[in-house]
Amino acid sequence: MKSQNPIFSHPTVNLLQKCKSLQILKQIHATMITTGLMFQTFPLSKLLFISSTLSLTYTLTIFNQVINPSIFLYNTLISSFTKNIDHTHIAFSLYCKVLSDKSLKPNNFTYPSLLKACGSHPWFCYGKPLHAHILKFLEPNYDHFVQASLLNFYAKCGKLVMCRYLFDQIPKPDLATWNSILAAYAKSSNRSFVSSTSEDTSMSFETLLLFSEMQVSSVRPNEVTLVAVIGACADLGAFSQGTWAHAYVLKQNLELNRFVATALIEMYTKCGCLELANQVFDQVPEKDTLCYNAMIGGFAIHGHSRKALSLFDRMKREGIRLDDVTILVVMCACAHVGLVNDGRKIFNSMKDDYGIEPKLGHYGCLVDLLGRAGELKEAEETLRTMPMKPNAVLWRSLLGASRMHGKLELGEFALKHLIELEPETSGNYVLLSNLYACMNRWDDVKRMRKMMKDKGVSKAPGSSLIEIGGAIHEFIRGDKTHPNSKEIHMKLEEINCKLNTYGHNASTREVLFDIEEEEKEEALSYHSERLAIAFALIASCSSVPIRIIKNLRVCNDCHASTKLVSKIYEREIIVRDRNRFHHFRYGECSCSDYW
């Protein structure tokens, strides 16, 4: 067996490893000059690396004195300078020098650090040219590390198709690569409390499919993997898979760190299991801002506003740092139950008490809070006087409040601004159409429909997700594609008969067609959540709560009928719509009809 090169263990090289000050570094540098170590590549690379952590100017002075530096030395400096975003421009300058030197050629060690630097603003635009250079200088011989670096770059840019293409080129992905692709899909799906779009949910499905592939491989997941997987379960409301992921964390003795804990809290919250979310929160030994925000947000969307405010007070007592998200979720808690004074007070104290400058989201929450409570003049005044330009979310909140309280003129005013900002968003037109329909102004409803048609805007179909026996089923309004469609529609007829027996009168005010009442009632009975409920009554155990995720706001009639269904069939029904959770039990809803 060959002995190790003595240069690697030279006393001066060992001193370099322990060097913490520029003064000592200069002494070592002098020794290296007198002993000739400066002419050896490895000691010189160590000197450049250590000096780059102490003095940029000194490092460049050393490097500029090197005659014909090798690509190895260039790579050392490039890697060092990309570790500090303020020095990234120097790393790219060095790379340009490599390209201009005909005696040098970039290799597999040149690109990973440069690509990592491109993963943050303002260097995004350099990533694609680097990819082209990789194909030019390294193809077909670039290695796993370059492939993984490219994947990471495109993941940070949100370029999912390219991520998947690169991932599929890697024959045996390691743990870091698996985590990169899973994180890319997780980032592309919706992580807010608002219900996901069909595209978002497809990304979450893909995350779970990829994780299944990973389990077949020899790579063992870690905490980073589980955060992505648990997040996907949260988006889909996949309670069984989410609890399995939690059990996996416990069984494999993985760390219940703040990232895993926050993901679990959000997953249980989004699956309608607030008690389990609270249990996880209580088990976290060192709770940070993320944990508190997730738990306060959970209380908020489930309508437990007093608990949210109490936890907010506890957070302040324990000295946990508040951020803009903290204020946002607390204000949302106030909005969901109409605590106008509390919400207004928190908003007005943001800057003075917590040093947090209000952002668009905070103004949006304030407008929502005021609008829901019928304080429309103050809501409109807030929009007119806020220091930044209102976005579509704020105008939509005002439009929704106008519909809720029958303020037609204000609704038309809000829609005008919305069309300027989002001419292709169907929900904006539908909100005003609902208001016209409530007032029997069918000519205006037709005008809205014509406007949508002229602009090429189609109404987003209502859809509901439900998990039965570990499988996720999706229903669209009027859906007849489900394998059990015949049984589902028979069950619907049974439900409708029982609703009539119990004296339910269908609320047809928001059906957007000037048709007979009987036809309106039939249209309502085929809403997606009713199909999901009918299927659950057929296919699930009577002791298990029915959990539904809906992409749109629950309509008045579905809300009223679901309350009654929970009483008739003695089933707890938990519905997550685009705004909040509704827990239907014994003929009542947790929202107290305020949503």
Q: What is the pLDDT of residue 348?
A: 93
Residue 147 and residue 169 in contact, taking contact as beta carbons nearer than 8 Å: yes
Q: What is the SS3 assignment for 5?
A: coil
Share the mean pLDDT of the chain.
88
Q: Amino acid identity of 61?
A: T
pLDDT exceeds cutoff 70 at 261: yes
Across residues 178-182, what is the average pLDDT?
Answer: 93
Q: Tell me: the pLDDT tens digits for 501-546?
A: 998 887 655 555 444 444 444 555 678 999 999 999 999 998 899 9
The whole-angstrom separation of Cα 230 and Cα 175 is 17
Share of the chain above pLDDT 90, in %: 59
Across residues 101-113, what is the average pLDDT?
Answer: 93
How many CB atoms within 10 Å of residue 128? 15
pLDDT exceeds cutoff 80 at 46: yes
The whole-angstrom separation of Cα 532 and Cα 481 is 13
User: Could you tell me where the DSSP H helices lie in 158-257?
Assistant: 160-169, 175-188, 198-216, 223-236, 239-251
DSSP conformational letter for 381:
H
Q: Classify residue 7: in a domain, yes or no.
A: no
Q: Classify residue 533: in a domain, yes or no.
A: yes
Q: What is the pLDDT of residue 194?
A: 42
pLDDT exceeds cutoff 60 at 191: no
Q: What is the pLDDT of residue 3?
A: 47
Residue 309, Cβ density class (10 Å: 0-12 exposed, 13-18 middle, ≥19 buried): buried
Structure tokens at 309: 């405010």
The whole-angstrom separation of Cα 591 and Cα 338 is 11
The set of residues, in sequence order, having a beta carbon less than 8 Å from that of 337 and lying 6+ positions away, is: 303, 305, 592, 594
Structure tokens at 198: 């069909």
Q: Amino acid identity of 551?
A: N
Give the phi and the psi of residue 94 in degrees, each rounded to 5. Answer: -65, -40
Residue 563 and residue 588 in contact, taking contact as beta carbons nearer than 8 Å: yes
The whole-angstrom separation of Cα 97 and Cα 105 is 11
Which domain range does residue 533 map to? 463-589
DSSP string spanning 77-100? Answer: HHHHHTTSGGGHHHHHHHHHHHHH
pLDDT level of residue 460 (50, 70, 90 thresholds): confident
Residue 122, preceding bond cis, omega within 30 degrees?
yes
Q: Classify residue 577: in a domain, yes or no.
A: yes
Q: Classify residue 438: in a domain, yes or no.
A: no
Higher pLDDT, 467 or 189: 467
For tokens 């495109």, the residue is: 154
The whole-angstrom separation of Cα 536 and Cα 70 is 68
Residue 275 and residue 281 in contact, taking contact as beta carbons nearer than 8 Å: no
Residue count (the chain): 595
pLDDT exceeds cutoff 80 at 9: no
Q: What is the pLDDT of residue 202?
A: 79
* Number of domains, the chain: 1
The whole-angstrom separation of Cα 63 and Cα 45 is 10
pLDDT level of residue 585 (50, 70, 90 thresholds): very high
Q: Classify residue 472: in a domain, yes or no.
A: yes
The whole-angstrom separation of Cα 86 and Cα 97 is 19
Q: Tell me: the pLDDT tens digits for 396-442?
A: 899 889 888 889 899 889 988 988 888 888 878 887 888 888 788 88
pLDDT exceeds cutoff 70 at 473: yes
The whole-angstrom separation of Cα 120 and Cα 22 is 30
pLDDT exceeds cutoff 80 at 267: yes
Q: What is the SS3 assignment for 585?
A: strand
The whole-angstrom separation of Cα 170 and Cα 160 is 16
Q: Hey, which residues does 475 pair with through a beta bridge?
A: 464
**Residue among 267, 327, 268 nearest 292 (CA):** 327
Give the phi and the psi of residue 373 in degrees, each rounded to 5. Answer: -80, 0
The whole-angstrom separation of Cα 437 and Cα 29 is 82
**Residue among 218, 235, 205, 129 nearest 178 (CA):** 218
How far CA 130 is from CA of 150, 176, 194, in Å, comes to: 9, 21, 37
- 59-62 CB contacts, 8 Å cutoff, 24+ apart: 60/90, 62/29
How many CB atoms within 10 Å of residue 385? 7
The whole-angstrom separation of Cα 232 and Cα 131 is 30
Strand 573-576, strand 581-585: pairing: antiparallel
The whole-angstrom separation of Cα 293 and Cα 297 is 6
Q: Classify residue 507: in a domain, yes or no.
A: yes
The whole-angstrom separation of Cα 30 and Cα 451 is 79
Residue 61, Cβ density class (10 Å: 0-12 exposed, 13-18 middle, ≥19 buried): exposed
Give the phi and the psi of residue 464 in degrees, each rounded to 5. Answer: -135, 135
DSSP conformational letter for 120:
S
Q: Classify residue 499: in a domain, yes or no.
A: yes
Q: Amino acid identity of 60?
A: L
Q: What is the pLDDT of residue 27?
A: 92
The whole-angstrom separation of Cα 231 and Cα 251 is 19
Distance of CA 237 to the CA centre of its chain: 14
Whether the CA torsion 245, 246, 248, 254 is positive or negative: it is positive
Structure tokens at 354: 């917590």
Q: Classify residue 572: in a domain, yes or no.
A: yes
